[in-house]
Amino acid sequence: MDKTNSTNILDSKDRVLKLENLSFEIFQELEKAPHEIYVQDLSKNEKNEANDNSTVNENLNNADDPRNWSSKKKLFVLLIVAICGITTPLAGTIHFPALIVIQKDFNASILAIDTFGIGPIVWAAYSDELATRKKVYIVSFLVFISASVVCATATNIWLLTAMRSIQAIGNSAVLPLSAGVISDIYDPIGTTFGGFIAQYLGWRWIFWILTIFGGFLFILILFFLPETFNVNYLKANPSLRFNPIAPLKLFKHPHIILIVTYICISTIILQIQNISIPINFSARYNFTSSQIGMFLIAPSSGFMLGSLLGGKYSDYLSKKSILSSGGVYYPEVRIKSAWFGSLLFPVTGFIYGWLLDISFNIYVLAILIFLCSFGTLITFSTLSTYLVDACPGRGASVMSLVSLIRFCVPGIIMMFETSIEESLGVRWMFALISIICFLSISFLIVVYINGKKWRSRFVVPT
């Protein structure tokens, strides 16, 4: 695409869509730079650009537009959403240290079904197409609370598994709507508390505490969270209809499907790692539930640090690219910040599996599992930002696709983790998935080379 065809004035709709997905630091630099930026060719939508520009200009002066709220109100809304974001890592990881206890209580094999990925497709479509955020939270937390109560009173493993699935669907609304970094920061809380709760209060109290916490958040959302969807956008697009499969249409774009597939493959090693820790450390090192919870701080801390530093490093490279090119920005520059993490976690995961198989020193294993998690989250945070930048106007929908693949596919594989480990052994199980992760780096290379061309054909799905 030549310069004359790819340059737009920043007061267009493209400016709003692109700059909303850049960090605040980059935004400041762009304000100082020439008011031009290279963006993807959306020529198929050019016939509506005049109407879109007038709508954007009108919204910028509208007091009802959430972007025009006071700083205090924005901070208050952000605080509520941040607290809601805690529920995903809390509910998703709090039971890991208690897996062995639950297994013995029900005299059943470990069965892990993760349906966090199913809900976001519907929640994101409902949120984007029907112009609401608050109602999504209200309905999803009602589902979450109800399922948590049944989990706490479950009398067999099948009821517990089914309700965990429904609980995950309800809780998954915060995945496409809340900042992903919140989940990564609060992972240590779930695993650590879960271990102590299971050991001293019993595993059922894990779900009673989730019920109480969910009830508190439901009241907070119902009475204090305002609707943040810009109703003026709906008025400008009256043809919008609820379509829960609309996000799936994004899969027709090669850059999206390759990045999402890579994230899926990378997640498998983390999910197998989380399941294997309570199984192996209770058998090899005689760890109690609370000790398993403490050990899980290592990977959780890697998630936290990787998410924070990954975002910073990605923003740094983007800012550097913009300044060196006089205001030119392509989302593919963010993929450059994923190279280090994409190499780090398969290597450390490979070594971790081989050392765990010989019951090596737990402190060395903790360092390796920290580095593996750190590298994975550097990659995830970078690629998630790339997907949002590459899909203007469909941020929630594309992140729901990430959730669908990132949780559902590894969740299915987790059902067979014990069988795979028994067949291959710990070392070869981790070796196999590490090699697959390493080979899948080729997906990132292909997108880095061809992403600009593929994005030029991107059209917002309806």
The tens digit of pLDDT for each residue in 143-185 reads 889 988 988 888 887 788 788 778 777 766 665 545 444 444 4
* Secondary structure (3-state) at 113: coil
d(CA 429, CA 440): 17
Mean pLDDT of the region 429-434: 92
The superfamily CATH assigns to domain 11-40+71-455 is MFS general substrate transporter like domains (1.20.1250.20)
Q: How confident is the model at residue 78 (pLDDT cuts 50, 70, 90)?
A: confident
**Averaged pLDDT for residues 257-273:** 86
**Quick one: tokens of 10?**
């920043």
Return the minimum-mean-pLDDT range out of 43-57, 187-201, 350-364, 434-448. Answer: 43-57
Tokens of 128: 């984007």
pLDDT at 448: 92
The torsion angles phi and psi of 326, rounded to 5 degrees, stand at 70, 35
Residue 90 has pLDDT above 90, yes or no: no
Q: Which of 84-93, 199-208, 252-261, 442-451 has the highest mean pLDDT?
A: 442-451
Nearest in space to 426 (alpha carbons), one of 365, 345, 363: 365
pLDDT level of residue 340 (50, 70, 90 thresholds): very high
| CA 354 and chain centroid, separation | 29
Q: Does the pLDDT value for residue 113 go beyond 60?
A: no
